[in-house]
Amino acid sequence: MSRRLLITGGAGFIGANFAHFWTHAKPDDRIVLLDALTYAGNYANVAALCDPGAVRFVKGDIRDFDLVCNLLRSEKLDTIVHFAAESHVDRSIVGPGEFVGTNIVGTQVLLDAARAVWLKEGVEHRFHHISTDEVYGSLAPDAAPFSESHPYDPRSPYAASKAASDHLVRAYGHTYGIQYSISNCSNNYGPYQFPEKLIPLCIVNILEGQPLPVYGDGKNIRDWLHVHDHCSAVMKIIEHSPPGETWNVGGNSERSNIDLVRALCAAVDEAFARDRSLATRFPNCPAARGASSAKLITFVKDRPGHDRRYAIDSQRMSNQLGWRAQIGLAQGLADTIAWYLDNETWWRNVMSGKYRDWITQQYGS
């Protein structure tokens, strides 16, 4: 079945990967990306799709009701894949307001636009909402991983805003008949991730010889999922899940932060041992001098309210939709390091702020 998709947050980390993934798998489907290009959004992530015109890029806010209605109508869109969000827990601790605005109000506006166009005009549709395992709160060390029926217990402003958006999506399904699906997934990593999140931050800091800040005792546990596996899960759900269903998507790869950071250090050291030209490109990296990158590890003050452990039970995805993660953590980390090595200009631009100046020139502030 061919589809016409609106991908919100399509210039962000997961949204951009999803745009590439869907276009590659289904080149005849229509795709429109809607993204406000906040600090986390990066047109360069999707330029290869949008510059030739295969995919349309619209700079705009999901809270702009008229814009969203116009796009749904003029492009005859039948599917919304809703990634747009403020996504970084540490930023939500410093300033929760933006998280309430984008994650809660933004989702409500999108749902209202879907009501106004799809329900009023009788369009067969799907609203797929991307959520997170963080809505379930923190797991004890020996507790079973989160299943879809685990009670909600969000504990950061970010998690609370995502939980509220999940409730709104279900409420619009129940009350008005919006045909929705929801996926709650674990920590993603891979290409195009903004280097404020743990894995890209560490890769870039190792290459630059900067400290690797590990919060608290480093024993907090996350369940890591390669973004390409996340994309394939979302495609499976959109294509095969009945409406009104929620799916938990995880990588089955629990690691403590300190073990993960050590694994990254070892993988970078190996890459430098294999390729001597890296020492010339990144002279500040300890591996350039034959030293261990692990010496950069620095324990720092813990994040307030830091959740101890997340882990996802994806059995329902595998039993009912035949999906399981394909990319093991060691391979995924090696591929991700290779991507950051091959895309030095991308992360230097993102980090230097040059990208923002360019976007302002292109699209205004």
Interacting residue ranges for ligand TYD, rule: CB under 6 A: 89, 187, 197-198, 201, 213-215, 220, 222, 257, 303
Active site residue: 35, 61, 86, 134, which one? Answer: 134
65 binds, among ligand TYD, ligand NAD, none (CB under 5 to 8 A by kind): none
When asked if residue 286 is in the footprint of ligand NAD (CB under 6 A), the reply is no
Distances (CA, A) of 175 to 79, 104, 121, 170: 19, 18, 17, 8
Active site residue: 43, 78, 136, 158, which one? Answer: 158
When asked if residue 87 is in the footprint of ligand NAD (CB under 6 A), the reply is yes
Give the one residue of 79, 92, 107, 187 binding ligand NAD; rule: CB under 6 A.
187
Residue 32 makes CB contacts below 8 A (sequence gap 6+) with: 4, 5, 6, 7, 55, 56, 57, 58, 71, 75, 77
Cα–chain-centroid distance for residue 165? 16
CB atoms inside a 10 Å sphere around CB 279: 15
Count CA within 13 A, CB hemisphere, residue 297: 19
> Is 98 a catalytic site residue?
no
137 binds, among ligand NAD, ligand TYD, none (CB under 5 to 8 A by kind): none
Encoding tokens for residue 74? 């003029």
> Is 355 a catalytic site residue?
no
For residue 343, what are the β-bridge partners? none
Give the one residue of 20, 35, 104, 113 binding ligand NAD; rule: CB under 6 A.
35
365 near 60, Cβ under 8 Å? no
Q: How far is the CB of 215 from ligand TYD (least distance, A)?
A: 4
Give the one residue of 6, 7, 14, 327 binding ligand NAD; rule: CB under 6 A.
14
114 near 108, Cβ under 8 Å? no
198 binds, among ligand TYD, ligand NAD, none (CB under 5 to 8 A by kind): ligand TYD
Helix H or strand E encompassing 58: strand 56-59
257 binds, among ligand NAD, ligand TYD, none (CB under 5 to 8 A by kind): ligand TYD
Give the one residue of 7, 85, 233, 327 binding ligand NAD; rule: CB under 6 A.
85
214 binds, among ligand NAD, ligand TYD, none (CB under 5 to 8 A by kind): ligand TYD
Spatial distance between the Cα atoms of 183 and 73, rounded to a whole number of angstroms: 26
In the complex with ligand TYD, which residue's Cβ is closer, 39 or 215? 215
CB atoms inside a 10 Å sphere around CB 265: 22
Q: What is the DSSP letter of 85?
A: S
Active site residue: 78, 86, 133, 229, which one? Answer: 133
Encoding tokens for residue 349? 């631009």
Q: How far apart are the first and last CA of the chain?
A: 39
Known catalytic residues? 133-134, 158
Q: Which residues bind ligand NAD (CB under 6 A)?
A: 8-9, 11-15, 35-38, 40-41, 61-63, 83-85, 87, 102, 106, 130, 132, 162, 185, 187-188, 194
